Chains A and B, each alone.
Chain A
Amino acid sequence: MHRRDFLRNAALGAGTLFFAPRMAFANVETDRRFVFIIQRGAADGLDTVIPHGDPSLARLRGSLAIDPNTMHKLDGMFALHPSLGRLADFYRKKQSLFVHAIASPYRERSHFDGQNVLESGGVGPYQVRDGWLNRLSTLLPKSREEAIAFAPTIPLALRGAAPVTSYAPSNLPEAPDDLLARVTTLYDGDAELHRLWSRAVETRGIAETADARQDPAAVGKTAAEFLGRADGPRIAMIETAGWDTHGGQKQRLANQLGGLDKMIGSLCDGLGDVWAKTTVLVATEFGRTATVNGTDGTDHGTAAAAMLIGGAVQGGRVVSDWPGLAPGQLYEGRDLAPTLDLDALIAMVAAESLGLDPEKTMRTLFPNRPINRQLSGLVA
């Protein structure tokens, strides 16, 4: 028997062991897809969505300055980094929009605390133990298949009470069926391992043609295979790392953004018709200094840019209450000042993407934080 057949049969045959009851198709609550891509390491918003119309930009950026002729102009004020060709295409098709000078409630400059606030949805680090994406999945009807992380382990945003699975392509040789069946019995009496094992077995059964390569396009393709299925997961998270560009920012960011652009492009290509029902939200824990540092890079800052891409996005615009880059306008004299709240954006976009009540979504994802109705209508 082929491995995947085994897994599928195991999942079907031993239903009580392997998975919670699921009423696929019977109850079509939402056929929308919501994907959260985290940029770990503080991605530089000023080099991603470039405020080329701000008169202070050239003075601040010095050696990092990007040739205006290579940028993808969005409007008189903003342009996309040259590596973001697909995202610029989406913009023209009104399927992408960018939100600038945005930040989570976190105002210090530690990556790890900043990511904790972004992913947990707390006001400060380590105040909330589970993640907002997990709480979001509790708002969906139980008949849906669980949310999925495209990583071997579960990132904080997806940790919590709602069942979640994870998947990453592996080039390890497959273990024989006898061993898999026995491991199932072995973990019967161990609550933690039983739970993890059941999810792993089910998820691997789904990955029919998943590509073993780890390049960004393959990640997008794999994600599309899961999300494209009618009875597949509706919520997914993809982690990206390598955004902490303290040195050599020009080349590194070009590679990073190029990878992100490819990943989202291949997600779109793989989803086909489902793309029309999809919203992808890209965000980072905080931005970087407005000024270039002594080593052709930037240090930890405050506000950054967020991106929305997908067929469901009401795109073709940049949403920003631009604070300006003149010396008196910078936050603490060094960073882009935040004028929009990332929590409010996430809640509004997640609610509109999945057809949920915005008030309730805000309360569940980011308790005690104010909703921002001006951010409604970004997703159709």
Chain B
Amino acid sequence: MSNPSDGARAHVALNRFGLGARLGERNPKDPSGWLTAQIKDYEPAPAAMDELPPSATIVTTYRENGAKLRALSPVKRLKVRQAQHRRGRELYGREVEARTTVALTSQTPFAERLVHFWANHFAISADMPLVTALAGSFEREAIRPHVMGRFEDMLLAVETHPAMLLYLDQVRSIGPNSDRAKRAARRGESKRLGINENLAREILELHTLGVRTGYSQADVTELALAISGWSIMGPDETVEPGGGAFRFKPLFHEPGPRAVLGKIYSQEGMDQAEAVLRDIAHSEATATHIATKLARHFVSDEPPPSLLDRLQLAFLKSEGHLPTLYQALIDAPEAWDASPRKFKTPWEWTVSALRAIGADPSTAKVAQRAKQLGQPVWRPQSPAGYDDLAASWAAPDALIRRVEVAQQLARKADPTLDARDLSKALIGPSLSRTTATEIARAESPATAIALLLVSPEFQRR
């Protein structure tokens, strides 16, 4: 491992931990102190997100319209529905713009990177119309408030958020011996009522313990029974001031004790699954899983075992206190190796490019660009989220698209920007002779900027 100079440490802090240097930004004098300070300076609710509606309002709007819809003729119904979906997509666009604005202007880019990390760890995918409309609220309500808190609180906020409950088909999961199912049987309803184990499985596999850590199909089924009744408000319910759209529905809940991972939970109602989740959140397997994902995100696709041990220990000893975990990462020598090991994902590359040229967030068209580059925001089409490995992003076609987007960005950049000066500020001590030469020889200032943005040094962090 090379021993990084001060300049190299500043570069690592800005690019590997942060979101890339902003145009005109000075190197932090004390790189690790700069990162630590962001833990307390972090803004959970930045001004750029003030005007966005809470999830309860979004759900209510859809549900009210749903009730009205049924009274309309099929043709009118289709029209109203299309208009509703258009509004949902518009809201999604505003949410992406707000996220981008914060990412481009934030004074705490390390904290913002952590927001993006957690939102992808607890991934939803904006595929269905209502989940598309709710995607931004999920990050604002379930992720942002808990990034500097405890893992278990984030976990509960995530699993009770309407976006997650809808995305993983939880809202109509009904215990086979619940009051609702018994009523259906008495009435001779033909429709079969039962659980849906999707959310329960992904909680264990993706959100907490990690796959192949010893849980069984029986544990998945028991957890699914424990969370039966975790749902969202119905069409005739109203939101209380400050209340959310989550509802625990006792009618849907499977009665009786549950056995998950060898422990019996005899609580009643909502408390039962909450107790399960809090136990799982503290487990060793969860600590290993989170440590591995965090190390892979910040350090390398194959993080060194010494780093994994540090992070896992920090998680376990602090019982999932996330700032303690982040501090362990900042203090880890493995994280400061001067040679960049991570190939930027499309989102990371786009954000760092826009910061580098000081782009105006309102015209950055990030939603469209991220999609063109293969990583539409909040839409991984899989509850596993986007992959954090170079092999997933470094591909022939993906690379040529970056060149095309770089050209677009460079054309719109301030024409007085000099790529030669910019390259020294952005890439610093690791600027190669080839890159410096090619930038200096470019046929136009715009081409020089584009070359800088697609240079090997700028593609990695």
Contact = CB atoms under 8 A, between A and B. Distances in A.
A174 B404 contact: yes
Given A62-B192, A125-B212, A193-B399, A179 B450 contact: yes
B447 interface: yes
Given A111-B384, A188-B434, A190-B456, A201 B211 contact: no
A110 B451 CA distance: 42
B249 to A, nearest CB: 13
B381 A241 contact: yes
B396 A182 contact: no
A109 interface: yes
Given A175-B404, A193-B459, A168 B397 contact: yes
B26 to A, nearest CB: 28
A67 interface: no
Interface stretch (B57-65, B197-205, B353-361): B197-205
B453 to A, nearest CB: 11
Secondary structure of the A side of the interface? loop
B150 interface: no
Interface string A163-198: 001111011111110111011011111101100110
B194 interface: yes
Of the candidates A151, A173, A174, A186, the one having the most CB atoms from chain B within 10 angstroms of its own CB is A186
Interface string A90-122: 000000000000000000111111000000000
B201 A186 contact: no
A175 B192 contact: no
Interface in A279-311: 292-295, 297, 299-300
B239 to A, nearest CB: 24
Nearest to A187: B456
A294 B196 contact: yes
B191 interface: yes
Contacts of A300: 197, 201
B394 A192 contact: yes
A294 B395 CA distance: 41
B407 interface: yes
A179 B397 contact: no
Given A186-B454, A193-B456, A200-B399, A247 B196 contact: yes
Contact of A112 (B197, B211, B443): B211
Contacts of B194: 293-294
B196 A297 contact: yes
Contacts of A166: 395-398
A159 B399 CA distance: 16
B193 interface: yes
B192 A63 contact: yes
B418 interface: no
B172 interface: yes
A203 interface: yes
A200 B396 contact: yes
Contacts of B382: 40-41, 111-112, 241
Given A111-B384, A154-B395, A246-B169, A204 B400 contact: yes
Interface string B428-460: 000010110010011100010011001110010
B225 to A, nearest CB: 11
A189 B434 contact: yes
Nearest to A202: B396
B452 to A, nearest CB: 10
B397 A203 contact: yes
A277 interface: no
A63 B212 contact: no
Contacts of A189: 432, 434, 456
B281 interface: no
Contacts of A204: 397, 400
Interface string B398-418: 111101111110000000000
Report which residue of A40, A112, A152, A244 has the largest number of chain B beta carbons within 10 angstroms of its beta carbon. A152
A204 B401 CA distance: 11
A332 interface: yes
A69 interface: no
A203 B395 CA distance: 12
Contact of A197 (B173, B399, B408, B450): B399
B196 A152 contact: no
A292 to B, nearest CB: 6
Contacts of A299: 196-198, 201
Contacts of B5: none
Contact of A185 (B397, B398, B400, B434): B434
B283 to A, nearest CB: 18
Nearest to B457: A190
19 contacts: A40-B382, A108-B211, A108-B212, A110-B212, A113-B212, A151-B397, A152-B373, A159-B391, A167-B396, A170-B372, A178-B442, A179-B450, A179-B451, A182-B447, A186-B456, A189-B434, A189-B456, A192-B394, A295-B173
The 7 A-B pairs at the shortest CB distance, nearest first, are namely: A294-B194, A200-B396, A199-B396, A153-B395, A246-B169, A172-B404, A190-B456
Given A110-B201, A241-B382, A292-B192, 16 more contacts: A41-B382, A62-B191, A109-B220, A110-B205, A110-B211, A113-B212, A153-B397, A172-B405, A175-B407, A178-B447, A186-B438, A189-B434, A193-B459, A199-B396, A293-B195, A294-B174
